[in-house]
Structure 1
């Protein structure tokens, strides 16, 4: 058994050549169960390898899937940007009715908690912009460098579909267009077909990202996590791009 890592929702270990994941908190149990239903259907429709988990234990819950090759992205190039653009075009073209039949729901933002727990200048104006954003696309929901894998200058897979939901396509472009080098971001935007209106929504989701970190820090009783999230909120509201 080899420890692979853990995120907000699950812990992963390599067991007998398989990735074994277990929920870290009760809220993550339905997510893992939903992945075991949705991913066997979704995976063949995508141009990059993704996890296809199978439940091996219901109490306590554990799932296993083949190891998706590659490592977290630390270097970026145009070829990777084009690959991710193609991946997102395929994902966002999946019929949402079929996804909903398999248990995929729609995002519900904790807006009142944002108002109560994240009090910063300009925050209310950002929250007001959330109203009216579309929710008509199947999205990964948590796309970042730790979930996009690569090797030898190409992408090799995308992991962690626990936040898969029907929402705004712009959420999947937030990190990719605002926190990556221009060579990568420009190639992705061209391949995907990013419009000016879509970029405006992308920025909203990019600015909103650290708000979740504040709430997570509060939920687990970790003031440092909450403080780092709050600094991210301030930085992104001030300059509209990732602080680094």
Structure 2
């Protein structure tokens, strides 16, 4: 079900008693399984209303709400150095499930290309990611979200590669390298942590040179901390990556993981395999074509790096 902004505004007024909706807008980056709108009330406060489009999305939202309610105290005492959405009210939906409303977190999406080396925003991003990984795993377990041990998560990655291989669309050189890395048992000896699971520029808000908020916690799990670093290592300027990792490592306690960066880079590559599988499952030829082209580009870069001796 796709709800109009006006319908979402009406849900917000039910969820938060006294909320007098003055204006409503679609966000710049709407959800895929959740209808989202930004409601501006009569005193110019901004609220975000989210309503699931189907029962599976509703179940995922309920787990996310349970997690967010647990995370609140961690933001209050500074263990999380940024804001998270704080549910302020709910409205029951006629078809079942609930819409959730929270105050909008001020800030703008992080622009990775603007990151610079040194003690500024790049370091703040590293510390923010590390703070997530320092959370007790019980917050995820108690919310009913997935929990993996290192061996189980490696098997999950292997299953993704096997499924992608069966499409016949992954270049053989990439498959061989992925399989070799997945068979390297030493590389997969890590301590699972809480991971956000869907960090991206749109989900990290910044203001005044600091991380102001982190959004969209529906993919949170206990798994490989390398996953949350992947997008940064792949897309951020290289000189900023060093600052991110240094701040991250300083913020972590008892971290002994010599293959963290290796797995993070692999996770970035396997994201293309998941994009391919999404296109195949959804029968979206445009997505399949996009994924195939990116995989071919990756293969070309990989062969160049191997020739230069960057991969052993």
Q: TM-score, normalised by structure 2?
A: 0.68
- For 2:289, the equivalent position in structure 1 comes to 227
Q: Is contact 2:140–2:147 with CA below 8 Å preserved after alignment?
A: no
1:200-219 equivalences in 2 (<5 Å): 200-219=262-281
Displacement, 1:171?
0.3
Between Structure 1 and Structure 2, how many residues are aligned?
240
Unaligned runs of at least 5 residues, structure 2: 1-23, 41-45, 75-79, 149-155, 251-256, 303-312
The question of 1:144 aligning with 2:161 is answered: no
Closer/same/farther in 2, CA of residues 235 and 31 from structure 1, 3 Å limit: farther
In the aligned structure 2, how far is the partner of 1:239 from the partner of 1:27? 38
How far residue 196 of structure 1 moved from its aligned partner, in angstroms, is 4.6
> Does residue 250 of structure 2 align to residue 174 of structure 1?
no
- Between the aligned partners of 1:207 and 1:237, the Cα distance in structure 2 is 10
Matched, 1:15 2:39: yes
- Alignment TM-score, normalising by the size of structure 1: 0.85
Corresponding position: 1:123 with 2:175 = yes
When structure 1 is superposed on structure 2, of 97-106 and 54-63 the one drifting more is 54-63
| Gaps in structure 1 of 5+ consecutive residues | none
How far residue 216 of structure 1 moved from its aligned partner, in angstroms, is: 2.2
State whether structure 2 residue 3 is matched by structure 1 residue 3: no
1:83 to 111, 124, 136: 124
The alignment yields a C-alpha RMSD, in angstroms, of 2.5
Q: Which has the larger radius of gyration?
A: 2
Distance 1:125 1:182, change over 3 A: closer
Cross-structure match for 1:113: 163
Q: Does 1:56 align with 2:79?
A: no
When residues 199 and 101 of structure 1 are mapped into structure 2, their CA distance, relative to the original with a 3 A threshold, is same
Structure 1 window deviating more from structure 2 (61-70 vs 111-120): it is 111-120
1:160 and 1:3 map into 2 onto residues whose CA distance is 16
Q: Distance in 2 between matches of 1:202 and 1:185?
A: 12
Change (3 A) 1:21 1:186: same
Evaluate the alpha carbon distance shift between residue 230 and residue 42 of structure 1 in structure 2; reply closer, same or farther with a 3 A threshold: farther
Q: Distance in 1 between matches of 2:69 and 2:115?
A: 29
Q: In structure 1, what is the Cα distance between the partners aligned to 2:165 and 2:56?
A: 22
C-alpha distance in 1 between matches for 2:201 and 2:137:
25
